[in-house]
Chain A
Amino acid sequence: NAGVMQNPRHLVRRRGQEARLRCSPMKGHSHVYWYRQLPEEGLKFMVYLQKENIIDESGMPKERFSAEFPKEGPSILRIQQVVRGDSAAYFCASSSGQEATGELFFGEGSRLTVL
Chain B
Amino acid sequence: GNSVTQMEGPVTLSEEAFLTINCTYTATGYPSLFWYVQYPGEGLQLLLKATKADDKGSNKGFEATYRKETTSFHLEKGSVQVSDSAVYFCALKSSGDKLTFGTGTRLAVRP
B102→A42 contact, CB < 8 A: yes
On chain B, the residues within 8 Å of A103 by CB distance are: 32, 34, 46, 49
Q: Which of A29-62 contact B (CB under 8 A)?
A: 33, 35, 41-45, 48, 56
Name the distance in Å between A78's Cβ and chain B's nearest Cβ.
Answer: 20
Chain A residues whose C-beta falls within 8 Å of the C-beta of B97 in the assembled complex: 56
Are the C-beta atoms of B98 and A56 separated by less than 8 Å? Answer: yes
Within A87-105, which residues are at the interface with B (CB < 8 Å)? 91, 93, 100-105
A102 near B44 (CB under 8 angstroms)?
Answer: no
Q: Assess the B51–A108 pair: CB atoms within 8 A.
A: no
Query: Within 8 Å CB of A108, what residues of B?
Result: 42-43
Interface residues on A, range: 20 to 34
Q: How many A-B Cβ pairs are below 8 Å?
A: 54
Of A33, A35, A104, A108, chain B has the most CB atoms within 10 Å of the CB of A104
Q: Check B32–A106 contact: CB distance below 8 A.
A: no
Is B103 interfacial (CB 8 A cutoff)? yes
Q: In the complex the two chains form, is B42's CB within 8 Å of A93's CB?
A: no
**Alpha-carbon gap, A101 to B52, bound state (A):** 9
Residue of B nearest to A102 (CB): B93
CA of A6 to CA of B101, assembled, Å? 21
Least CB separation from A47: chain B residue: B98
Interface residue? A25 (CB, 8 A): no
Contact with A along B79-93 (1 / 0, CB 8 A): 000000000010001
With contact pairs A42-B89, A42-B104 given, residues A102 and B43 touching in the complex (Cβ less than 8 Å): no
Choose one: A4, A33, A91; the contact of B98 (CB below 8 Å). Answer: A33
Which of B45, B49, B101, B102 lies in contact with A101, CB distance below 8 A? B49
Q: Which 10 A-B pairs have the closest CB atoms?
A: A42-B103, A102-B93, A108-B43, A106-B44, A106-B43, A43-B101, A42-B104, A101-B32, A101-B51, A109-B43
10 CB < 8 A contacts A-B? A33-B98, A42-B101, A42-B104, A43-B89, A45-B99, A45-B101, A93-B44, A102-B99, A104-B46, A106-B43
